[in-house]
Amino acid sequence: MDVDVAKLRSDLDQLRNDIAKLGDTVKTVVVDGGDAAYARVRRSAEKYQKQAKDVVDMAVEEIEERPLATVLSAFGIGLVVGLLFSRRS
């Protein structure tokens, strides 16, 4: 009977060690997964920020090349939008 109790204690100690290792592994996976997700989000944000900057740069360049056409276009768009919103029935 003492041999069975000693074996049971040994098995329980091994089980505790295995559970502790499993906990460490899960923690590592979660932390690494979080870091990887953060890196992906950061790369995507940088990509879209660059695209937005390129669009703004193109718009500024277009305005600088054709200021009169830009002003007239903005006036025309404003006029149409104003007419659409002023027609309330």
Give the tens place of pLDDT for each residue, 1-32. Answer: 677 778 888 888 898 888 888 888 888 888 77
Per-residue pLDDT tens digits for 44-63: 999 999 999 999 999 899 88
Which residues, including other chains, have CB under 8 Å from residue 63's CB and lie 6 or more apart? 70
50 C-beta neighbours (distance < 10 Å), count: 10
* pLDDT over threshold 80, residue 70: yes
CA distance 37 to 42: 9
Q: Note the pTM of the prediction, 2 decimals.
A: 0.48
**Contact between 70 and 63 (Cβ < 8 Å):** yes
Residue located via tokens 């002003």: 71
Exposure b/e, 15-28, CB count within 10 A at least 16 = b? eeeeeeeeeeeeee
